[in-house]
Structure 1
Amino acid sequence: MLKEIAKFPKPVWVLIVVSFIRVVAYFTAIPYLAIILGDVFELDAAQIGLLLGGSAAFGILISLVFGNLSDQFGRRKVILLGYVLVILAMAFIGFANHVASIIIGTILLNIGTGIMNAPSQALMTDYVRDDRAQRDLTIQVKYFALNLGVVIGPLVGLQLAAGSQIGFVYLIGVYALMLGYLVSVFHNEAPNSGLLNPDNQATNLWHAFQVVKSDHIFLYFVFLLILISTAFAQLEVTLILDISATFASVDTGFDRPQQIYAYLMSLAGLTVVIAQLPLTKLVQNLSMFNRALVGAVVFTFGFGLLAFVKIMPFGYFYNLALAMVVITLGEVVLFPTLNLIQDRIAPEHLKGSYFGVGSLSEFGYAIAPIFGGYILLTFGSEILWVIMSAICGFVALNFWLLKRKSDL
Structure 2
Amino acid sequence: MLKAIRILRKDVVFLVALVGIILSNCGFSHLTTTVSQYFANAHIFQDGVKLFSYMLALNAIVVVVIQYPVIQICKKYTPLVSIMVGTLFVSGGLFGFGVVESLLGAAVCTIIFTIGEVLMFSMTDVFIDDIAVAHLKGTYFGAMGFSGIGAVIGPWFGGVLLDYYGYQNGFAVFSALAIFSTVAFPVLLVTKGLSKKRYDRNSNMEMHAE
Q: For residue 208 of structure 2, what is the aligned residue in structure 1?
A: none
Cα distance in structure 1, aligned partners of 2:36 and 2:92: 20
Match of 2:10 among 192, 195, 214: 214
Q: For residue 399 of structure 1, what is the aligned residue in structure 2?
A: 188
Paired residues in the alignment total 194
Match of 2:179 among 363, 367, 390: 390
Q: What letter matches 2:21 in structure 1?
A: L
Match of 1:340 among 116, 121, 126: 126
1:378 Cα offset (Å): 0.9
Can you give the 5+ residue segments of structure 2 that lack an aligned partner in the other structure?
Answer: 200-210
8 A contact 1:208–1:350 mirrored in 2: no
Residues 268 and 393 (structure 1 numbering): CA distance in 2 closer, same or farther, change over 3 Å? same
1:345 Cα offset (Å): 2.3
Instruction: Please list every run of at least 4 consecutive aligned residues from structure 1 whose deviation after the TM superposition is greater than 4 angstroms.
Output: none
Cα distance in structure 1, aligned partners of 2:50 and 2:4: 46
Per-residue CA deviations over 1:45-94 (Å, capped at 9, x if unaligned) read xxxxxxxxxxxxxxxxxxxx4xxxxxxxxxxxxxxxxxxxxxxxxxxxxx
**TM-score, normalised with respect to structure 2:** 0.82
Alignment RMSD: 2.1
Cα distance in structure 1, aligned partners of 2:45 and 2:57: 21
Q: Describe how 1:256-405 pairs up with structure 2 within 5 A.
A: 257-310=48-101, 315=102, 317-380=103-166, 381-405=170-194
Per-residue CA deviations over 1:6-46 (Å, capped at 9, x if unaligned) read xxxxxxxxxxxxxxxxxxxxxxxxxxxxxxxxxxxxxxxxx
Can you give the 5+ residue segments of structure 1 that lack an aligned partner in the other structure?
Answer: 1-64, 66-204
1:208 Cα offset (Å): 4.8
8 A contact 1:226–1:364 mirrored in 2: yes
**TM-score, normalised with respect to structure 1:** 0.44
Relative contact order, higher structure (CA 8 A, sep 6+): 2
Larger radius of gyration: 1
Q: Describe how 1:109-148 pairs up with structure 2 within 5 A.
A: none
Q: For residue 88 of structure 1, what is the aligned residue in structure 2?
A: none
Q: For residue 224 of structure 1, what is the aligned residue in structure 2?
A: 20
1:364 Cα offset (Å): 1.0
Per-residue CA deviations over 1:111-136 (Å, capped at 9, x if unaligned) read xxxxxxxxxxxxxxxxxxxxxxxxxx
Cα distance in structure 1, aligned partners of 2:171 and 2:130: 38
